[in-house]
Amino acid sequence: MKLTVLVNNNTYIDRYFLGEPALSFFIEDETKRILFDCGYSNIFFENARKMGINLRFLDYLVLSHCHLDHTWGMETLIREYTEARLEKQNFQKPLLIAHPKIFVSTYINGIGEIGILLSENKIQPHFSLQLSKDPVTPTENLIFLGEIPRQFPFETMSPIGRKVGEKEDDLVPDDTALAYQSEKGLVIITGCSHAGICNITEYAKKVCNDDRIVAIIGGLHLLDPSKEQLAGTLEYIKELDLNALYACHCTDFTSKCALAKVAPVMEVGVGLCVEF
């Protein structure tokens, strides 16, 4: 598997790509091409173009959860596919894989909509859909984990806004991740880890029937975490004995420094390409 960072908060010096507080990865596994999240704006597409990656030909679009910094770039793909149709140019209609609650409108009082902007009905002409709480296998070795059980008390997350029609604030049940089954063990690929990186990793072990974790890449949602959450996460990550931890996006500097004491934390910027 080859993973390329199309969008992240950070860019590299002397690599002239665009960054934003969002996330998008391009994944190639054998013959399959997967876009994992599409950031906040159109820069995932512009960065991909500069890297020579043609996003008109995707097999899958996988969404980690509904939030604006992972889904609002979808309109760029829709425009691209629409223009291809108008110009009678070739493109491939990808299968969109996500949690069933991905299209439920999510808002914060005083701010407004923070979830996906497009309804399921408006998406359907442009993407095939597979919405699932259960694990899905886009490729032989890549698994969409579906809804993540919340088992670690220290990862009880603060709610973010509220989904329309629900009485309780939103704990982002649609937050999920990918697990790649390599010969050496699992690679965990996350968007924001609202479900908790320890919960995600533990569920991936169960789904894949493999306790070996080689690497983690993505957002860990450690933004000024409580002492309890950070301590619990550090203890868990230390026991994994990772080869590499690519903590990015929603992981603050203090948390990265703490994580670096228990795991090999690697720099992540737009343009990073790693192979597993």
pLDDT tens sequence across 224-276: 999 999 999 999 999 999 999 999 999 999 999 999 999 999 999 999 999 99
How many CB atoms are located within 10 Å of the residue 30 CB? Answer: 10
* CATH number, domain with residue 181: 3.60.15.10
pLDDT at 52: 97
Domain assignment of residue 101, given as a range:
2-275
Is the pLDDT score of 156 beyond 90? no
Cβ atoms within 10 Å, residue 259: 23
Position 9 scores a pLDDT of: 97
Rounded average pLDDT over 55-67: 98
* pLDDT at residue 27, as a whole number: 98
Burial status of residue 69 (CB atoms within 10 A of its CB: 0-12, 13-18, 19 or more): buried
Average pLDDT over residues 53-60: 97
Quick one: average pLDDT of 29-44? 97
Domain count, the chain: 1
208 near 182, Cβ under 8 Å?
A: no
**What is the percentage of the chain residues whose pLDDT exceeds 70?**
100
Residue 171: pLDDT band (50, 70, 90) is very high
CB hemisphere CA count around 67 (13 angstroms): 23
The identity of residue 270, as a single letter, is V
Q: Summarize the confidence of residues 95-105 as an average pLDDT.
A: 97
pLDDT band at residue 159 under the 50/70/90 scheme = very high
CA–CA separation, 143 vs 204, rounded Å? 9
